Structure 1
Amino acid sequence: MDEPVEDRFLRLSDDLVEEVFFRLPPDELACLVRASAVRKRWRRILADAGFRRRYCEFHGVPPVLGLFQEDTGFFTTTAHLPARPDRPRRHTAMMAVDCRHGRALITPFNRYFGDFGEGESFDLTVFDPLTGHQRRVPSPDNNVLWFSAAVLCAAQGCDHHGCQGGDFRVAFVTTDQQKSVTSGWLYSSQTRTWSKLSSAHHPNVTKYTFNRYVPSVLLCDAIYFNIDGVIKCDLGTLSLSMFERPTDVKGGRLMIAEDGGLGFAALVDVTDLTLWSMETGLEGAMGWAKLRVIDLDTLLPHGALSIPTADCVISGIAEGRQVIFISTFACYMVDLKSRRVRKVSSPTRKLFPYMRFYMPAMEAASTGKGQ
C-alpha cells in the first residue's frame, strides 16, 4: 500500500522542508503558526534566525500587514499580528500623514481643520504600531497650514525587511500659493534638527492647490509627491524640483512601476485603471510612457462599480508591490500581478499601508532531535 502523501511530507529533509516553508505567503501569518505547531522539528526551522533572514530575502518586498486610515484608525489585515494601535500619548486626536519602513507619521487632528492659533507649535509623531514605540518630531515651521510629509528609515545598511526603532528621516514640503513656490525641510533623528531644502518654482499652483497629507513614493534617494505636478525631494542634494504628471485626471497616484522606475496610476473613464512609467529618451529627455489599461470591471466584485462615479477613487498604493487600493462602496486591495482582490475596509479616500516582514514568535525545540 502506498505511503500517504502527508507521511511522505513529514519525512522530508530539513532542506526540502525549508524550501516548502519559503513559499508560505508572508501576509498570511496563520500559515507559519500552523506549520510550527505540527512538529518540534518544523518549529525549530521556523524559529531559526538564518531561516528568517532567507525567508525575507526570498520574498523581497515586505507584505501589507495593516492599514492606517487618514484619521489614524489602524487595523491589521492578517491574523496573529500583535499590533498595539494605541494612539500616541501626546494627542488624543491624530491624523496619519505617511507610513513606510514599519513606521507611521502622525500629526494633530486640528491641523486638518485649521483649528489652531497663528504660530501655534505642533509636533509630528513617528509611531510603530507593533511595539507602541513613538518619537516626537517638532514642526519645522509653525506658520504652515497645509503640508505633506514622508518618513523613511535612515539606518545604514538596513534592508528594510523589519525596520524597528532605529534612525529615521522625515521629509516635509509645503506650497506658498501666492509666491508659486514649494519649500521643504529634511529632519534627521540622529541630529534632531531640520535641514532646509532648496525651493522649487511651482508654475501650476492655483488657489485650488491643496497640499494636505499627499501620499509619497520613495525611489532610490528621492521622495516624490503629487502636488499639481510631481515634486521631487532629492535627499542627497537637499533640493526640490518639479516636473509634469502624465495626466491631469484628479485622484492619480504616484507608485513604483513594474520596471522599478517611477510610475503613475489614475482612474480614466471611471473603470479604466491606467498605468504609466517614467522613461528616459534617446537624448536624455524624461517623459511618461503608458504601460497598460486595466478594466476594473474584470477585477472588482460584481456590482462594485455600480455606485456614482465620483465615489470610485484610488485610496492607496503599497509601495513596490504592484498593489493598489480601490475604494467604491467598500475598499478593495487589488494585486495587479496575481489579479487577487479582497475587501479590506469600509470606503475611505486615503489610507497608508503598513508594510514589513513579521515572523510570529516561536520557541525553538530544546532537543537536537525529535519530531
Structure 2
Amino acid sequence: MDELLEDPFPRLLPELVEEVFFRIPPDEPASLVRASAVCKPWRRILAGLGFRRRYRKFHGTPPVLGLFQHGNCLLRKGSRFVPTSALFLAQPDDRPDWFAMDCRHGRALFARIRNTSVLMVLDPVTGQQRRVPSTPNHPFSFSAAVLCAAQGCDHHGSQGGHFRLAVVTTNQRQGVTSGWLYSSETRVWSELTSLHHPNVRYTNNFGAPSVLLGDALYFNIGCIVECQLGTLRLSMFDKPIDHSGRLMTVEEGRLGFAAVVDVTNLTLWSWETGPVGAIGWAKLRVIDLKTLLPTCEFGLRRWANALVISGVAEGTQVIFVRARVGSYMVHLKSGRVRPVCASSDIKIFPYVSFYIPAMEAACFGQWQ
C-alpha cells in the first residue's frame, strides 16, 4: 500500500513520464506545478537539471510569461507588471518610481530618473535585483538594453549569472550619439565610439526598445543605431519608412521592422544583405489588422489612427498592438489574438522565458 501511495503509476517508466511532461505547453507552468505535486518520482523528474535543459530544447522558443509596461516619464506613471501566464510566483510589485527600459535573457531593466540616473536589473522569477550606477555623464534621456554575458549560453535559463548593459543617448543640439557598455563582472562602464550626424532628425529616445542579433544591438531613435558589442563601435542607417514602428527579428534571424501603415495595415520589412554587404530594406508582408482585432476597435472614426505597435517579443513572431480600449498580443504566424491589458501605456516589454516552478522550488529547497 505504501508503494502505491508513493507512486500511483509504478508501471510507467520515467522516460515515458518525461516524454509526457515535454508536451506540457511552456506558457502553462501551473500544469507543471500540479504534476510535481502528484508524487515524489514525478517531482524528482521535474526538479532535475537534465529535464530543464531537454524541456527548453524540445520547445525551442520560450513563451511570453508577462509584460512590463512603461508609463509616461513626464506624468510619473512608472512601470507595472501584468502576468500573462496562469502561474508566475514571483510577480514583481508595481514600481511607480522606476521605468521599464528593456527585458531580455530572463532579466528586466529599469531606470530611476532624478538628479542622476540609476539602473536596476531584476530577475522576475527570484525577485533578486541589482542596482548599477549610471554612465559617466549621467544623461537624462537615453535608451538601454540588458543581456546575458555568458559565452555559449542559449540564454533561455541564464538567470543569476553575469550580465551586460548597453546605453545610447543623443545630444540633438550637437548632433552626436554616444554609447557605453557595462559589465557586471568588472563593474566598469566602457565608452563606445561616438557618431556625429548633424542633419539627422531624432525622436524622444527615452526607453526606446532594442533588438539583439548576434553581437550587435539595434535601437530605434528616429534612425536606427547599431551598437557592436565586440568592437564598441556605433553606426547608423535609415528606417524603411518615416513612420513610428518597432524593430524586431524576422525569418532566419534577420533584422526586421514593423509599422502600422494606412490606419490598419501592419507592414513588415526585413534588412537584406548580399555577398558584399548590406542591400537595404525589403517588404515582407502586409497584414490587415481589421481581420484580427475585435470589430469594436474600429467603431469610432476618431480612433482611426489609434493602432500602435507597443511591444515586440524578441526572437518570436509575437507583437503587441495598442488599440483604443487596450493592448492585444498578436501571433503573426498563426494569426491568433488575445487581449492582455486595458492600458494606455506607451511601451510594453514582454518577459520571455521558460519557467519550470518545480525546478525553481527545488533550487530554493522547498521540496526538502
TM-score, normalised to structure 1, is: 0.85
Match of 2:49 in 1: 49
Equivalent residue, structure 1, for 2:117: 122
Match status 1:356 vs 2:353: yes
Secondary structure of the corresponding residue to residue 146 of structure 2: strand
1:61-81 Cα shifts (integer Å, max 9, x gaps)? 221111111122012211221
Partners of 1:36 and 1:233 in 2: CA distance: 43
- Runs of at least 5 residues in structure 2 that lack an aligned partner in the other structure: 1-8, 71-77, 363-368
- Which amino acid is 2:111 matched to? T
Q: Report percent identity of matched pairs.
A: 63
Aligned equivalent of 2:328, options 313, 332, 356: 332
Classify 1:271/1:50 alpha carbon distance in 2 versus 1 (closer, same or farther; 3 Å): same
- Report how many aligned residue pairs link the two structures: 342
CA–CA distance in structure 1, aligned partners of residues 10 and 348 of structure 2: 42
**Given the alignment of the two structures, is residue 233 of structure 1 paired with residue 227 of structure 2, yes or no?**
yes
Task: Say whether residues 1:220 and 2:225 are aligned partners.
Answer: no
Letter in 2 for 1:77: T
Q: Distance in 2 between matches of 1:153 and 1:282?
A: 30
Partners in 2 of 1:175 and 1:318 — Cα distance? 25
Q: Determine if the alignment matches structure 1 residue 101 to structure 2 residue 99.
A: no
1:187-198 alignment runs, 5 A limit: 187-198=182-193
Q: Which residue of 2 aligns with 1:211?
A: 205
Q: Does 1:275 align with 2:268?
A: yes
Residue 303 (str. 1) matches residue 296 (str. 2): yes
Q: CA deviation at 1:214?
A: 0.2
Q: Distance in 1 between matches of 2:51 and 2:248?
A: 31
Cα distance in 1 between the residues matched to 2:10 and 2:272: 50
Quickly say closer, same or farther: Cα 1:43–1:246, change in 2 above 3 A.
same
Q: What corresponds to 1:82 in structure 2?
A: 89
SS in 2 for 1:198: coil
Q: Supply the distance in 1 between the matched residues of 2:222 and 2:168 (Cα, whole angstroms).
A: 13
Cα deviation digits, residues 177-225 of structure 1 (max 9, x gap): 122121101011111111110012335533x631211000011001100
Q: Give the letter for the 2:106 counterpart.
A: G
Please report how far the alpha carbon of residue 17 of structure 1 lies from its aligned counterpart in structure 2 after TM superposition.
3.6
Partner SS, residue 248 of structure 1? coil
Alignment check: 8 A CA contact 2:215 2:229 kept: yes
Residue 55 of structure 1: how far off its partner (Å): 0.4
- Contact preservation (8 Å) 1:324, 1:336: yes
Maintained 8 Å contact 1:254/1:264: yes
Matched, 1:151 2:142: no
What CA distance in whole angstroms lies between the structure 1 residues aligned with 2:10 and 2:86?
Answer: 26
Distance 2:153 2:278 in 1: 33
Change (3 A) 1:188 1:318: same
- Map of 1:367 onto structure 2: none
Q: Structure 2 length normalisation: TM-score?
A: 0.86
- The one-letter code of the counterpart of 2:332 is L
TM-superposition CA deviations, 1:117-157 (whole Å, max 9, x none): xxx33311111222221111111144522110101111233
**Structure 1: which 5+ runs fail to align?**
1-8, 365-371
